[in-house]
Amino acid sequence: MKVRATRRREAARLPLPAIAVGNLSVGGTGKTPLAAWIAEYCAARGRTAAILLRGYGGDEPLVHRRLAPRAVVVANPDRVAAAGVARAQGAQICVLDDAYQLTGVARDLNIAVVSAESAAGSPWPLPAGPWRERWDALDRADLIVVTRKRASAGAAAAVADGLARSRPRVPACIAALELSHLEGMRSAAHHELDILAGRGVVAAAGIADPLSFGAQLRAAGAIVQLVAYQDHHPYAPARCWPSGGNGTAGCSSRQWTPCSAGPPHLRPEFTRVP
């Protein structure tokens, strides 16, 4: 019997420096806001970043263009081809959204995002649970970012501390994902969150973690009726409704209702360097 030796295919290099952002679970960790934050961080320092993504669901490019207006956004499952397009449009660095499992593409910095909420949730892998990979996949990371939305600062710190102890070579940090403001969908008017205090809100959410969205609206003082759809839900005009009476219709960045939540604010809380 002949045994044919197999070799691991060498990872493809992009024509620009690459930062990969991804997670171990399915959605809801905050990798999209983090990728956009990195792109805007580069832009603030005079570097044009490109955000490369698959374009799943059709809404992801729109979300990125809203969160990172100074970035080049290219949706193409072939990240090598996308990087070539981005470079032709003036990009100097690539940020690969949802690319932690994309091991066939080389990266200069590999960032794993872990949400404090999912870390305390179901332990089961797909399809029974949310996990794409086991915790030992974090050994590939150059940086671990623990995000929190409705989890307390203490709970997020406990997750980060545990990961830092088990992987002392990998720096870990915490980032809070918070609602920043509200925007009128028709008027584009900017409203501070304090207008929600004591008001009835219909909150439509087509995101991976709608419960955290509802919790943040409640923390702003709203009385929330949450209408949750699947992540990347394709809203039809017939399913969108105006707010009634003195209520306020709230929604996340993937919704269509009269008043939407503004881009999520990513706030680093601390950085731990082992």
Q: What is the pLDDT of residues 163-185, one digit of tens each?
A: 999 999 999 999 999 888 888 87
Greater confidence, 196 or 183?
Answer: 196
Considering only 16-25, 27-36, 114-123, 191-200, which range has the smallest mean pLDDT? 114-123
Spatial distance between the Cα atoms of 41 and 88, rounded to a whole number of angstroms? 21
User: Do 41 and 24 touch, CB atoms closer than 8 A?
Assistant: no
- Average pLDDT across the chain, whole number: 84
SS3 85: helix
32 touches 111 (CB < 8 A): no
Query: Which are the contacts of 159, defined by CB distance < 8 A and separation ≥ 6?
Result: 114, 116, 119, 120, 146
Q: Where are the beta strands (DSSP E) in the chain?
A: 18-23, 49-53, 72-75, 93-97, 109-115, 143-148, 172-178, 182-184, 190-191, 200-205, 223-228, 248-251, 259-261, 265-272
Under the banding of pLDDT at 50, 70 and 90, the label for residue 112 is very high
Tokens 């028709």 map to which residue? 186
Q: What is the pLDDT of residue 182?
A: 86
Please name the residues in contact with 14: beta carbons below 8 A apart, sequence gap of 6 or more.
79, 80, 83, 94, 105, 106
SS3 78: coil
pTM confidence score: 0.84
Q: How far apart are CA 30 and CA 45, in angstroms?
A: 23
For the cut 50, the answer to whether the pLDDT of residue 217 exceeds it is yes
pLDDT (tens digit, 9 = 90+) per residue, 115-145?
Answer: 999 887 777 777 777 788 989 999 999 999 9
Task: Check residues 188 and 14 and name the one with the higher pLDDT.
Answer: 14
At 263, the pLDDT band (50, 70, 90 cuts) reads low
